[in-house]
A = this chain, B = another copy of it.
Amino acid sequence: MTALVGGIEAGGTKFVVGIGTAEGGSRVTARIATTGPDETIAAALAFFREHDAALPVTAIGIAGFGPLDLDPRSPTYGHVLATPKPGWPGTDLRGRIAAGAGVPVGIETDVNAAALAEARAAGDLADLAYVTVGTGIGVGLVVAGRPVHGAGHPELGHVRPRRHPAHEGFAGICPYHGDCLEGLASGPAIKAAWGVALDALASDHPAHGAVADYLAQLCATLLLAVAPAKIVIGGGVMGDGHLLPVIRARTSALIADYLPQTGPDALETRIAAPACREPSGLIGAYLVAQGVR
């Protein structure tokens, strides 16, 4: 039996903390509102202390909002880098959890941790992309079994899709790029363009087709760039999954039989909703903990 580990899904609005294993899921979880780093980190540590007698953990994994320094050779490894969240820039998130909990602590981006969890859930796939469409659009990538960091931090949610005709005249809301993918198809972008959330619009409203088209362009770019065996798309905007068939059909049309396994039948399983029963990020945090030496 795998030893229990701790997981922290460190998000911008809340921290989800839990104790369990990637294989067995959570034994206990809690939610902590994300305020300043001192208060939030203290609350996370208190959770593990509270359960230490009954559910001791051998390691903790953090799936954190970015940008994070994930270069183990860097003097600021595990620190939060520049972020608009007050108080957080420069916070030694990994070091402070490790010092407080007294166990080894691993750290990964939230989207990469989710990608690791979904890759495991899909049968240990070596190549998988995880896309979350909510307040922002984040993409995690596992290539050849390992999360992709590159030299810096990839942020594929800010790629620029071709504009959809139903969206003409909308400038996009990304403060950096205007009409990048996040500026066009995130939850706040949908509200800015059409006044309400996607699930509040009639099923024949053109917004559905536009958002699906933008996400299909992202899927096509992912298939052309790193050919993941599976693309998992989750997040609040995806709701009940009604966009998935449209995204699959449009992605297949964009690839136009140029790559293997991109016909409508293949994409039926290759582009899918998350398979993890618990939030992929928390299961990913357990995986990160289980990989800590």
Chain A residues in the interface with B (C-beta under 8 A): 67, 81, 125-127, 139, 141, 143-144, 146, 148-156, 158-160, 162-163, 176-177, 217, 220-229, 254, 256-261
User: Are the C-beta atoms of A149 and B256 separated by less than 8 Å?
Assistant: no
B residues within 8 A CB of A156?
224-225
CA distance A256 to B183 in the complex (A): 14
Inter-chain contacts of A146 with B (CB < 8 A): 144
A256 CB contacts on chain B under 8 angstroms: 176-177
Across the A-B interface, the 4 shortest Cβ-Cβ residue pairs? A150-B227, A151-B229, A152-B227, A176-B258
Interface of A is mostly: loop
With the chains together, A153 CA to B159 CA distance in Å? Answer: 21
Pick the contact of A150: B153, B226, B258 (CB < 8 A): B226
B224 & A158 in contact (Cβ 8 Å cutoff): yes
In the assembled complex, 21 residue pairs joining A and B whose CB atoms fall closer than 8 Å, in A order, are A141-B225, A141-B226, A148-B226, A150-B229, A151-B227, A151-B261, A152-B259, A152-B261, A154-B224, A155-B224, A155-B258, A156-B224, A156-B225, A159-B221, A160-B220, A160-B254, A177-B258, A221-B225, A222-B225, A225-B225, A226-B226
- Is A160 a contact partner of B261 (Cβ separation < 8 A)? no
Tell me whether B127 and A259 are in contact (CB under 8 A). no
**Residues of chain B contacted by A144 (CB below 8 angstroms):** 143-144, 146, 148-149
A120 to chain B, nearest CB (A): 16
Q: For A148, what are the chain B residues with a Cβ–Cβ distance below 8 Å?
A: 143-144, 226-227
Task: List, in ascending order, chain B residues with CB within 8 A of A257's CB.
Answer: 176
B259 engages A155 (CB within 8 Å): yes
Task: Specify which chain B residues have a CB less than 8 angstroms from the CB of A139 in the assembled complex.
Answer: 225
Quote the shortest CB–CB distance from A174 to chain B (angstroms). Answer: 9
Return the contact of A160 from the options B67, B217, B259, B260 (Cβ within 8 A).
B217
Residues of B within 8 A of A177 (CB): 254, 256, 258
B225 near A158 (CB under 8 angstroms)? no
B260 touches A152 (CB 8 A): yes
User: A149 and B227 in contact (CB under 8 A), knowing A176-B258, A177-B256?
Assistant: yes
Q: In the bound complex, how far is the Cα of B254 from the Cα of A146, in angstroms? A: 28
Interchain CB contact (< 8 A) of A151 among B67, B127, B153: B127
What's the Cα separation between A81 and B162 when bound, in Å? Answer: 31
> Contacts A176-B257, A176-B258 hold; do A225 and B160 have CB atoms under 8 A apart?
no
Chain B residues within an 8 Å CB radius of A153: 227, 259-260
Cα distance A221–B258 in the bound complex, in angstroms = 20
Bound Cα distance from A162 to B259, whole angstroms: 21
Taking a contact as CB atoms under 8 Å apart, the answer to whether B154 and A225 are in contact is yes
| A148 and B126 alpha carbons, distance in the complex (Å) | 11
